[in-house]
Amino acid sequence: MARCALITGITGQDGSYLAEHLLSEGYEVWGLVRGQADPWVRGRSELAGEIRLIRGDLLDQGSLIAAVERIHPDEVYNLGAISYVPMSWQQAELTSEVTGVGVLRMLEAIRTCSGISGSRTPGSAQIRFYQASSSEMFGMVDESPQTERTPFHPRSPYGVAKAYGHFLTQNYRESYGMFAVSGILFNHESPRRGPEFVTRKVSLAVARIKLGLERQLRLGNLAARRDWGFAGDYVRAMHLMLTQDEPEDFVVGTGVTRSVEELVELAFSLAGLDWKEHVVCDTAFVRPADVNQLCADPGKALAKLGWKPKTSFEELVGLMVESDLELLSTPGDRRPPSFSSDVW
Ligand code: NAP
Ligand code: G4F
């Protein structure tokens, strides 16, 4: 029988790539969607009929229990979160509830539906759990590159909420013997990245400027450094983590760090533009506390999962600029028409 996976955050960047990957591995894939007018239902219909949708919200314990009871998944991937770091200062409480306590609610749904009570019962839970942890937990780093053992010093309410979810995942593994793992993923991007994140903000601006639709791009901290990879590569690591004999946490990244300025220079040059003629620094995009640099040591993932990224930074930026040039050159709304399958 096909293995069955439930993905929270199915409408997000990673949710779509993970769903495609699991479908290609022969899985039955369910996605949790919230609200009554799902944008995804209208916007991502290329997967119509292949992914099954179920309503639920990380803020609503009962809906998560009902989803797990209905589906009986073999694997749960908790990708749902408020994931945009600046928003976590504007809505700190909501971020803590969704990105942090949401992890507790999903673990509790699995524990309840698996019949695990009080004490540690190794191996008793059949449902395997993946938590989307983040390199933002490292925050102000005092060692580089960062490994699974690097201490956390989060710099935003988002980072703090992710650290809570990370420790809780470890705690449920140790307390109840659950197969619960945390993937500490560094920044990963794609043409499906939300437009508020810096890589997509840049690739969209490059396309608009190239096509004469805009002249200027306003950015914040150009000196910040990130370890950027391709989302399509990273979802393979998530799946591999749930196929191991023992539950363990892994750092996933490329091991190469670049500045926002290097990203900008490359993206503009790929379109034959000089970034200095268009980019303006704007303090409105500078954060109350930023993470200045991140760089992964993915050695454990390579050794134990056999995982390594296939897409270079140059290829990734090229992919995004090319995709946005095509998107903005195409007249009209290119989204496919309505989604046909039922939402539970
Ligand atoms: P994303 O595109 O922002 O997607 C976030 C998803 O969370 C959306 O599907 C959203 O659904 C869902 N969500 C928001 N609030 C929810 C709620 N109350 N209940 C259920 N679902 C809710 O994020 P992503 O880039 O795919 O990242 C996936 C996960 O990995 C996130 O947890 C993120 O924090 C983490 N992460 C990402 C990166 C990265 O570089 N991309 C790195 C490390 C960790 P709606 O469409 O309904 O809003
Ligand atoms: O693209 P960003 O918004 O990503 P950030 O904050 O690193 O967070 C992303 O990666 C995390 C993994 O480390 C995820 F957990 C998280 O969910 C999210 O996916 O910003 C990257 C850097 C920052 O230092 C920011 O200050 O770019 C700098 N930056 C400079 N100007 C800007 C801008 N970021 C944005 N979004 N917009 C700007 O105008």
Residue 340 has a pLDDT of 36
Our answer on whether the CB atom of 134 is closer than 6 Å to any ligand 1 atom is yes
Our answer on whether the CB atom of 224 is closer than 6 Å to any ligand 2 atom is yes
Question: Which residue range(s) make up the domain with 265?
Answer: 195-227+256-295+309-329
Nearest CA to ligand 1 atom 46: 11
Task: Over range 14-43, report the average pLDDT.
Answer: 85
299-320 pLDDT, tens digit each: 999 999 999 999 999 999 999 9
Please give the distance, rounded to the nearest whole angstrom, from the Cα atom of residue 27 to the centre of ligand 1: 21
Please give the distance, rounded to the nearest whole angstrom, from the Cα atom of residue 9 to the centre of ligand 1: 5
Nearest atom in ligand 2 to 260's CA: 27
Judge if 285 and 319 occupy the same domain: yes
Judge if 33 and 53 occupy the same domain: yes
Is residue 72 assigned to a domain?
A: yes
Residue 120 has a pLDDT of 55
Judge if 160 and 212 occupy the same domain: no
Judge if 31 and 180 occupy the same domain: yes
The number of domains in the chain is 2
Residue 117 has a pLDDT of 80
Q: Closest-lying ligand to the alpha carbon of 292?
A: 2
Residue 336 has a pLDDT of 38
52-106 pLDDT, tens digit each: 999 999 999 999 999 999 999 999 999 999 999 999 999 999 999 999 999 999 9
Judge if 44 and 103 occupy the same domain: yes
Our answer on whether the CB atom of 12 is closer than 6 Å to any ligand 1 atom is yes
Residue 124 has a pLDDT of 45
Is residue 121 assigned to a domain?
A: yes
Judge if 110 and 172 occupy the same domain: yes
Is residue 51 assigned to a domain?
A: yes
Our answer on whether the CB atom of 11 is closer than 6 Å to any ligand 1 atom is yes
Our answer on whether the CB atom of 85 is closer than 6 Å to any ligand 2 atom is yes
Judge if 54 and 173 occupy the same domain: yes
Is residue 343 assigned to a domain?
A: no
Is residue 63 assigned to a domain?
A: yes
Nearest CA to ligand 2 atom 24: 224
Q: Closest-lying ligand to the alpha carbon of 252?
A: 1
Task: Over range 261-266, report the average pLDDT.
Answer: 98
Our answer on whether the CB atom of 220 is closer than 6 Å to any ligand 2 atom is yes
Judge if 74 and 136 occupy the same domain: yes
Residue 93 has a pLDDT of 98
Catalytic residue among 88, 134, 135, 156: 134
Question: Residue 27's domain is classified under what CATH number?
Answer: 3.40.50.720
Our answer on whether the CB atom of 155 is closer than 6 Å to any ligand 2 atom is no
Nearest atom in ligand 1 to 39's CA: 46
Question: Residue 220's domain is classified under what CATH number?
Answer: 3.90.25.10
Nearest CA to ligand 1 atom 14: 81
Catalytic residue among 158, 164, 172, 176: 158
Is residue 175 assigned to a domain?
A: yes
Residue 330 has a pLDDT of 85
Is residue 217 assigned to a domain?
A: yes
Please give the distance, rounded to the nearest whole angstrom, from the Cα atom of residue 130 to the centre of ligand 1: 14
3-state secondary structure the chain: CCCEEEEECCCCHHHHHHHHHHHHCCCEEEEEECCCCCHHHHHCHHHCCCEEEEECCCCCHHHHHHHHHHHCCCEEEECCCCCCCCHHHHCHHHHHHHHHHHHHHHHHHHHHHCCCCCCCCCCCCCCEEEEEEEHHHCCCCCCCCECCCCCCCCCCHHHHHHHHHHHHHHHHHHHHCCCEEEEEECCEECCCCCCCCHHHHHHHHHHHHHCCCCCCEEECCCCCEECCEEHHHHHHHHHHHCCCCCCCCEEECCCCCEEHHHHHHHHHHHCCCCHHHCEEECHHHCCCCCCCECCECCHHHHHHHCCCCCCCHHHHHHHHHHHHHHHHHCCCCCCCCCCCCCEC
Judge if 247 and 275 occupy the same domain: no
Residue 36 has a pLDDT of 72
Judge if 216 and 169 occupy the same domain: no
pTM score over 0.85: yes
Judge if 176 and 151 occupy the same domain: yes
* pLDDT > 90 in the chain, percent: 88
Residue 88 has a pLDDT of 98
Nearest CA to ligand 2 atom 10: 187
Judge if 116 and 204 occupy the same domain: no
Nearest CA to ligand 1 atom 7: 80
Is residue 68 assigned to a domain?
A: yes
Q: Is 130 one of the annotated active-site residues of the chain?
A: no
Residue 325 has a pLDDT of 98
Q: Closest-lying ligand to the alpha carbon of 40?
A: 1
